[in-house]
Chain A
Amino acid sequence: MTRTTHRLLTVFSSPIGILAVVACLALLFLAVFAPIIWGAAAAATDTDQLSRGPSAEHVFGTDGSGRDILLRTLVATRLSVVMALTATVAGVVGGVLVGLLPLIVGGRIGRWIVAAINIGVAFPSLLLAIAFSVILGQSGTAATLAIAIAMVPSYGRLTHNLAASVWGRDFVSAARVLGVPEWRSVFRHVLPNVRDPLLVNAAITAGNALLAFAGLSFLGLGIQVPEYDWGRMLNEGMTRIFVTPAAALVPGAAIILAGLTFVLLGEVLGQALTPASRGRITRRLRRLRPTSAAPADARPVDDDAVLSVRDLRVSAPGADEQWLPLVKGVSFDVGRGEIVGVVGESGSGKSVTLMAVAGLLDAPLHVEADAAHFDGAPLTLGTGARASSLDHRLGQRLAMIFQDPMSSLNPALTVGSQVAEPGLLHLGMSRAQARTAAIERLEAVRIPDAERRYSQYPHEYSGGMRQRAMIAAGLMGSPALILADEPTTALDVTVQAEILAQLRRVNEEHGTAIVLVSHDIAVITSLCTRVLVMYRGRLVEDVSTADLREGRATHPYTRALLATVPTMTTPRDQPMASIPDDADFSEGSPTAGVEVLRAADDPGLVEAFGDPDRVAEEIS
């Protein structure tokens, strides 16, 4: 059983899936059998009972000719659904062909087809269908064709957008390089890869076709007497709505139910064919509290420290309805004016720890701590306390810098207003004061021409400048602590040095403590006085940088980490060391305490560049 079939089965056995299947089967049953079973009864006119209300004989009453409204509605299912599905099939096939054509034809003609599709999409399909029904006349067949044609542009654009993204991928390019004809690549490689979203959309399109069809018939441009579909019934019922409302309301309800059936089918197909979300598991989990197995840290909170955390635990909802611990009881202190580094591999919990301390973790993550003090006051909240009660203090005294300066500034607002914002929010500044202060801070972080730069947008700044603007925003208050989460990772090396120098300057001038998270141990040792090493959610080492340099680290992971850092004396004729992915430094694991360094995988690189003498020979 493939994964898709498995997912289909799972989704179709969920309540919403079962509902969709039942609704589809009911619709199918009515479309096939209703005219056979009730066709004659629905056509029978009861002249004694014209425009009657509901009775035992006629559940929803009769129309102006004395015909049973419910039976007519049921019988009309076939024409309504068949016409809609015919139009959908024709429109979808046309749309797919038109959407793929630009790829097959290519070049200028291809671009023209795309432009034509785009122009067609601008016009609403009902308008197109009305226009085409002028040419094709007013009949069921004409309306079907008109709706199908009107569907082509939007479905064509969807196909083209999906296909164009697959077209650029390597395996398709490879096929084209190998000389496979365009049309064959399109049908063999592109179409199967865009099939799922096209199917989902076809279900929704069918629903729209049904409504469009009802609309055209309602206007009198679709099915003509003596045939009838739901739209035609609405048209006749509308004129008599004051006499027999059911004549309009019953077919109306049928249209909505049928439309919802297609929407539901699309929704269920969408769930089955696109990667599943973990929503339901999370919901069920929220009622359970995570339990921590970590031993409580007995040390009392250090009141002199700017930040003091005891037994911080963060958990996330995991796959098997279990809470997955991300941070497993971490305790540390940061002294005033101290620069502390946090290192560890990705996923070791260093960023999560920082975000938890800043109170920025959001549901579904769960944060707990025995105690946490910041700047002399507790950070922890009792039950029922509002998180916003901490806002003012944190807003003034805690600054944050994030990893990616490209995405950390709001693209829709000027950089200056974002820098000035803390002044307005927490320092009681007027707009003009905040502006002046912000320009000062921008100058302090060496943004040239700060006055003009104030009113520019982030996209007009370089990466390094954005990160300095983030620091400037942090400096608006008088922060006691800056939490910097990989502030230089996304920047190139020269800019990195600049940002680190800027942080050091802030530390020296204002006595601001800094916690610097990085996976780059070289960055850490150059700036920090103390290093916290995290490994798989635990703090495994708290060591001064001096000790670290002298090789006095105790934890095997720290030692392994240090050994991977190349120095000026690292022998260049040997492969560079790295920590294997499968190494486990947890206590009690077989590799713990063992030297597990492995040579880098690519010896060719070392051969070519490793031996300077040989390189020199080769050059000369």
Chain B
Amino acid sequence: MASTTTTVLALAAQQRRSNPWVRYLARRALYFLVSLFLLVTLAFLLVQLIPGDPARASAGEMAPPEVVEARRAELGLDQPLIVQYLRFWVGLFTGDLGDSFTSRTPVIDVILTRAPATLELALLSVTIVLVIAIPVGLAFGALTRGQRRPGTEAGFTTVSAILAVIPEFLAGIVLVYLFAVNVQWLPVAGRSDVSSYVLPVVALAIGPTAALTRIVRAETLTVLEQDYVRTARAKRMTPARLYGRHVLPNLLTSTLTISGLLLGGMIAGTVLVENIFAWPGLGSTIVRSIQGKDYPLVQAIIIFYGAAVLLINLVVDILLILLDPRTALDKS
């Protein structure tokens, strides 16, 4: 029995060594878990590092000392740090993240009711960014290859540079001014029907779209210099086939790597956009809870955002290895 186990373990170890996929995925999973661990630990320490007394913040500035002490005991803040830390982890797994200081409702309920609005906003914007940036970048790469059409190139570079610089909150304000103040075509706040999604999604997507389009164009120009594109051209095919089948797949690796970072930034961007459009997501909640010193809620939202970013990176890396196993495996 023992020897069988040893054999199985040895075989598994051997397989791990021999199969680069398993090795890569194991490394990637470890990296994800370590990052998650650090994220949770830092979110926990965040509250410890805050100058001032969370118990007093919770009980209220005017509360008498005995109320504050009672509150401290209730929150478990009188326990040793390590006990608090372990309880924090247990709470994460059981969904018991404590109560919000301000609303006195369980933090987990706040997260669960508000997260969908944020995720909707982020996912819609991400989809729009990818759907627009990849074909447009490819088209401009094709049009301006080999320093052709200098006018088009200059126009593209200038417009995309300006759009990429405009941060989401400014885009949001300008959109509000144009479409809600001036012509009143679209609702300016809240989440109701489809039209209410237009402005927030556009505000969030416009900068990343411009940035990614620039990157895709630059990558297209690089791919077009490669020998295998010459081979493909020697076979005499339509431009649609050349770009769609021979160029596009080679763009995706680098484009996806960069989109990972870009999409992480968009998750953070939702905070700003939600505050402009009174979007009932977590972004408007986090600012209010930071200003209101509602620490349990702040901790939970930071963990939520951080985990979302880590998850995006994990998904991107898995997509990369599926699309282009060789490059991804070489890198590890």
Contact = CB atoms under 8 A, between A and B. Distances in A.
A358 B230 CA distance: 11
A218 B269 CA distance: 13
Contacts of B145: 362
A394 B235 CA distance: 8
Nearest to A257: B165
Nearest to B265: A124
Interface string B282-309: 0000110011000100100010011001
Interface in B307-321: 309-310, 313
Contacts of A127: 267-268, 271, 302, 305-306, 309
A414 B177 CA distance: 52
B249 A412 contact: yes
Given A124-B265, A135-B50, A245 B272 contact: no
A214 B43 CA distance: 25
Interface stretch (B17-25, B96-104, B166-174): B166-174
Interface in A446-504: 457, 459, 470, 473
Contacts of A409: 228, 231
Given A215-B272, A256-B165, A409-B231, A283 B170 contact: no
A402 B231 contact: yes
B29 to A, nearest CB: 14
Contacts of A125: 265, 268
Interface string A199-211: 0000000010001
Q: Would you call the interface of chain A mostly helix, strand, loop, or mixed? A: helix
B239 to A, nearest CB: 9
B298 A134 contact: yes
Contact of B269 (A126, A137, A256): A126
A422 B290 CA distance: 63
A413 B309 contact: no
A425 interface: yes
Given A248-B177, A408-B227, A457 B169 contact: no
B82 interface: no
Contacts of B227: 402, 404, 407-408
B230 A408 contact: yes
Given A127-B305, A134-B290, A207-B165, A241 B268 contact: no
Interface in A263-286: 263, 267, 279, 282-283
Contacts of B226: 407
A211 B168 CA distance: 10
A245 B271 contact: no
A215 B171 CA distance: 12
Interface in A83-139: 115, 119, 121-127, 130-131, 133-135, 137-138
Contacts of A410: 228, 231-232, 246, 249-250
Interface stretch (B1-9, B112-120, B146-154): B146-154
B51 interface: yes
Contacts of A388: 236, 238
Nearest to B230: A360
A234 interface: yes
A285 B145 CA distance: 17
B236 A391 contact: yes
B230 A402 contact: yes
A279 B149 CA distance: 11
Nearest to A253: B170
A447 to B, nearest CB: 17
B206 interface: no
Contacts of B194: none
Contact of B271 (A130, A238, A252): A130
A252 B203 CA distance: 14
A79 interface: no
Interface string B41-55: 011001001110000
A221 B290 contact: yes
Contacts of A242: 181
Interface in A386-435: 388, 390-392, 394-395, 400, 402, 404, 407-413, 418, 421-422, 425-426
Interface string A330-372: 0000000000000000000000000000101011100000000
B118 to A, nearest CB: 13
B35 interface: yes
B147 A279 contact: yes
B87 interface: no
B246 A413 contact: yes
Given A259-B165, A394-B236, A131 B302 contact: yes
A514 B15 CA distance: 48
Nearest to A393: B236
Contact of B173 (A248, A411, A413): A248
A197 interface: no
A138 B165 CA distance: 25
Interface string A591-619: 00000000000000000000000000000
A126 B265 contact: yes
A138 B246 contact: no
B109 interface: no
A260 B164 CA distance: 10
B147 A364 contact: yes
Q: Would you call the interface of chain B mostly helix, strand, loop, or mixed? A: helix
B165 A122 contact: no
Contact of A283 (B147, B173, B298): B147
Contacts of A245: 177, 181
Contact of B264 (A119, A122, A259): A122
B16 interface: no
A362 to B, nearest CB: 5
Contact of B231 (A134, A267, A408): A408
A378 interface: no
Contact of A263 (B165, B169, B238): B165
A575 interface: no
A273 to B, nearest CB: 18
B321 to A, nearest CB: 14
Contacts of B265: 124-126
Contacts of B236: 388, 390-392, 394-395, 425-426
Contact of B310 (A122, A252, A418): A122
Interface-centre pick from A130, A364, A395 (highest chain B CB count, 10 A): A130
B290 A256 contact: no
B220 interface: no
A426 B165 CA distance: 47
Contacts of B268: 124-127, 130
A267 B235 CA distance: 39
B11 interface: no
A391 B242 CA distance: 13
A220 interface: yes
Nearest to B241: A425
A282 B147 contact: yes
Contacts of B276: 238
B181 A241 contact: yes
Nearest to B146: A363
A528 to B, nearest CB: 22
A457 to B, nearest CB: 7
B198 to A, nearest CB: 17
A249 interface: yes
Given A410-B231, A412-B324, A135 B49 contact: yes
A138 B298 CA distance: 14
B319 to A, nearest CB: 14
B234 A219 contact: no
B33 to A, nearest CB: 11
A513 interface: no
A427 to B, nearest CB: 12
Given A215-B169, A391-B237, A425-B236, 13 more contacts: A127-B271, A127-B306, A134-B46, A248-B177, A249-B173, A363-B146, A388-B236, A390-B236, A391-B236, A400-B231, A408-B228, A410-B231, A426-B236
| A-B interface, 7 closest residue pairs, ranked by CB to CB distance from nearest | A412-B249, A391-B236, A395-B236, A407-B227, A124-B268, A126-B268, A410-B228
15 contacts: A124-B309, A126-B265, A127-B267, A127-B306, A211-B167, A214-B167, A218-B275, A241-B181, A242-B181, A259-B165, A363-B148, A392-B236, A395-B235, A395-B236, A410-B250
